[in-house]
Amino acid sequence: NAGVTQTPKFQVLKTGQSMTLQCAQDMNHEYMSWYRQDPGMGLRLIHYSVGAGITDQGEVPNGYNVSRSTTEDFPLRLLSAAPSQTSVYFCASSLGTGSTEAFFGQGTRLTVV
Amino acid sequence: EDQVTQSPEALRLQEGESSSLNCSYTVSGLRGLFWYRQDPGKGPEFLFTLYSAGEEKEKERLKATLTKKESFLHITAPKPEDSATYLCAVQAGKTSYDKVIFGPGTSLSVIP
């Protein structure tokens, strides 16, 4: 089991560029989510999915899109990058958000200049 | 508004010096409280889930406890390898897919 795999690990974008952060899990988990982590603010939920074809917004969804065409993959798209999106992004998966542990990827450090 | 705070922000301990980290929360309808450990450059790693006041869980030198308003992570005789950021998170709401709210974390350094 690879767990949760995120690519790329590092990325630098220019303002206005678009890109997709990839996330894949091999644990057959229903629930997947994307967080951003900024100093002193903790992890904040961007979008989540409770299964293939079902997505919903989290706390800070503006500027990000997601889709879930398969159980395994949950990509995060930045349509027009802004400096405020400079952050570390984590993808996580779990059987559910309730009492089950979440497995996190290694993170993507994104810098928008 | 649902909120999770952690204290202290940073903690330096000598090896073997026991201490506690605090996680305070204000949510309606707590379903679970989670503790994670995060090493630099890595994603958070699950430690514990606590469900109700009075519950305790242990793993090696770590012990987590829960009251109606806060949780403590007690570290007994810490070693340098316990150095990490410890994150607390709570889940509240009525469905199993309600969001989890994370605190900002406590950065722990254990000095040999």
Q: What is the nearest CA distance from A38 to chain B, expressed in angstroms? A: 9
pLDDT tens per residue, range B20-69: 999 999 988 888 899 999 999 999 999 999 999 999 999 999 999 999 99
Q: What is residue B43's predicted lDDT score, i.e. its pLDDT?
A: 96
Q: What is residue A39's predicted lDDT score, i.e. its pLDDT?
A: 86
B64 near B35, Cβ under 8 Å?
yes
Burial letters for A54-80: b for 16+ Cβ neighbours within 10 Å, e otherwise? ebeebebbeebebebeebbebbbebee
Interface test with B, best of A5, A57, A99, A108 (most B CBs within 10 A): A99
Nearest chain B alpha carbon to A90: B43
Q: Which of A4, A101, A104 sits opposite B49 (nearest CB)?
A: A101
Q: What is residue A40's predicted lDDT score, i.e. its pLDDT?
A: 80
Across the interface, do B100 and A45 touch by the CB < 8 Å criterion?
yes
Q: Of B57, B59, B106, B61, which Cα lies nearest the Cα of B86?
A: B106
pLDDT tens per residue, range A41-97: 889 999 999 899 999 998 899 999 999 999 999 999 999 999 999 999 999 999 865
pLDDT tens per residue, range A5-20: 999 999 999 999 999 9
A105-to-A2, B44, B64, B95 alpha-carbon distances in Å: 10, 8, 24, 25
